[in-house]
Structure 1
Amino acid sequence: MARVAILGGTFDPIHLGHLAAAQGVVHLAGVERVIFLPNREPPHKAGQPVTPAIHRAAMVRLAIAGNPSFEFSDLELRREGPSYTVETVRALQAQHPDWEAAFIIGMDSLLEITTWREYQTLLQMTDWLVVTRPGYDLDRGRQMLADLGPRLAARIRVLEIPGVAVSSTRLRQLAATGYPLRYLVPDAVVAYIEEHGLYRGKDPA
């Protein structure tokens, strides 16, 4: 069985925080590789503007190039409709019975897990690696684990990982003002954003 971790998300744009979290999981959780899996239609962002998937996918591919521990999957991009994680887990388990897979989420996502589709079933289907930065207030996370109960909490492991305190939302806001994204996202992603006029009020090229 191959030990694999799945990192899903909108990646709008992918940034150094995502990459640091993935590398930390490889080191701390002993997985062989991390699969980056951009979603097609993020359910929690219904009605919000999202950069076309072709651009988000291209930025992920550029960001992970050269790291043998990182791979790309277009599973959710090929599936019509909202990208529900429970459907993704079922698909991955059917397609890769040789994987011992865990899903990576941030502490912010754990705190919202009860809003996810079929969350109780989802939490029982696979293991979960919750990444958080040093200094993050873990009290709410501990309370959530207690609220979920021992059966579901047993599938969840919290990892404290050093990283970049930045979010995709904040990066889009900065880019819209012309603030340079260098040292916040990989250089190849900076070049892609500039080439295609992303996040600056232009129609993506």
Structure 2
Amino acid sequence: MGLPPTGIFGGTFNPVHVGHVRAAIEVAEALGLGAVEFVPAARPPHKCGGPLLDFALRLRLCRLAVAGIPGFSVNAMEAERPGPSYTCETLAALAGVRPGEDFCFIMGMGDLLHLGQWKEGFGLGRQAHLAVHAREGLGLAAFTAFLAANGPAMDATPTSDPAVWSLPGGRRLTFVPIARLDVSASDIRERWRQQKRIHGLVSEAVLRELKNHADALEAGWGRPESEAIPGTPSCKAT
């Protein structure tokens, strides 16, 4: 019997927050993953020109967020890869340097619903197991409706369990219900611009690091509203 899969949790993490960490923990426990690696995107293709902290700071925040959680780590591989950070290329690179290891790519329901817009998105199940966690009120009904329409394009076939679909190569696509935490990075950025507290939305270690890099936050997210130059529009999150 082989080792359990390693969870790969990719994302912009702008910033990483408690919702990210809690989702990863619950998926890892539900599926018996051997470890989870957060993989921040260096150049996310869907965020071009958007409000984004630099990669080095987002990487440091992720390391602070998972510090002390058994089996959790941060993979900085995207820093060394040219061009946009496409998930299919990340998984291919992992397979190239760690042959024989099983991976499980973790995503939210919102990601699954837009998978057809990702580069080779419907082919991700040929590279790794896929774990989809509930997000923003989207649960098993949305999961099964999506697969009813798109399962053939993904080479996914249903099993006796509506939350589990078979993928090529003995892999599985699994829906994981998790505790609902309506925390979003865009809301955190907006609260910061409005100079509202973000305590409880990020860990204390992440909060301290954000406070220590106020200039970087202003450069990446825009100037706080009370400090905005008169007569100029405030920068809104996307």
* TM-based fold match above 0.5: yes
CA contact (8 A) 1:178 1:200 kept: no
**Aligned residue identity for 1:189:** V
Change (3 A) 1:133 1:107: closer
1:110 CA drift (Å): 0.2
In structure 2, what is the equivalent of residue 42 of structure 1?
Answer: 44
Is 1:195 matched up with 2:195?
no
Change over 3 Å in CA distance of 1:161–1:118 after alignment to 2: same
Aligned residue for 1:160? 177
What is the percent sequence identity of the aligned residues? 34
Higher relative contact order (CA 8 A, sep 6+): 1
Indicate conservation of the 8 Å contact 2:137/2:180, yes or no. no
Paired amino acid for 1:165: D
1:31-74 superposed Cα distances (whole Å, 9 cap, x missing partner): 01100000011111223231100110010011111112201101
Q: Return 5+ residue gaps in structure 1 as ranges.
A: none
Q: RMSD over aligned Cα, in angstroms?
A: 1.8
Q: Is the 8 Å Cα contact of residues 5 and 104 (structure 1) preserved in structure 2?
A: yes
Larger Rg, first or second structure (1 or 2)? 2
Q: Which of 153, 163, 188 is residue 171 of structure 1 equivalent to?
A: 188
The superposition leaves residues 70-123 of structure 1 with CA deviations (integer Å, 9 ceiling, x where unpaired) of 011011121121001111111111111242111000000000000010123223
TM-superposition CA deviations, 1:158-177 (whole Å, max 9, x none): 00011421111111011111
1:17 alignment partner, SS class: helix
Contact 2:45 2:84 in 1 (8 A): yes
Q: Which runs of 4+ in 1 moved over 6 A?
A: none
Q: Write the distance in 2 (CA, Å) between the matches of 1:136 and 1:123.
A: 21
Shift of 1:138: 3.8
Q: 54-63 or 95-104: which moved more? A: 95-104
Distance in 1 of aligned mates of 2:137 and 2:58: 30
Partner Cα separation in structure 2 for residue 69 and residue 94 of structure 1 = 22
1:49-128 aligned within 5 A = 49-128=51-130
Q: Distance in 2 between matches of 1:37 and 1:172?
A: 20
Counterpart-to-counterpart distance in 1, 2:82 and 2:136: 38
- Name the structure 1 match of 2:12: 10
Opposite residue 169 of structure 1, the aligned amino acid is S
Farther off after superposition, 69-78 or 147-156: 147-156
Contact 1:15 1:185 in 2 (8 A): yes
Q: CA deviation at 1:135?
A: 5.0
Shift in CA distance, 169/134, structure 1 to aligned 2, threshold 3 Å: closer
Q: Specify the code of the residue in structure 2 equivalent to 1:89.
A: L
2:200 corresponds in structure 1 to 183
CA contact (8 A) 2:6 2:34 kept: yes
Aligned residues: 202
- Normalization by structure 1: what TM-score? 0.92
- The TM-score, its normalising length taken from structure 2, stands at 0.80
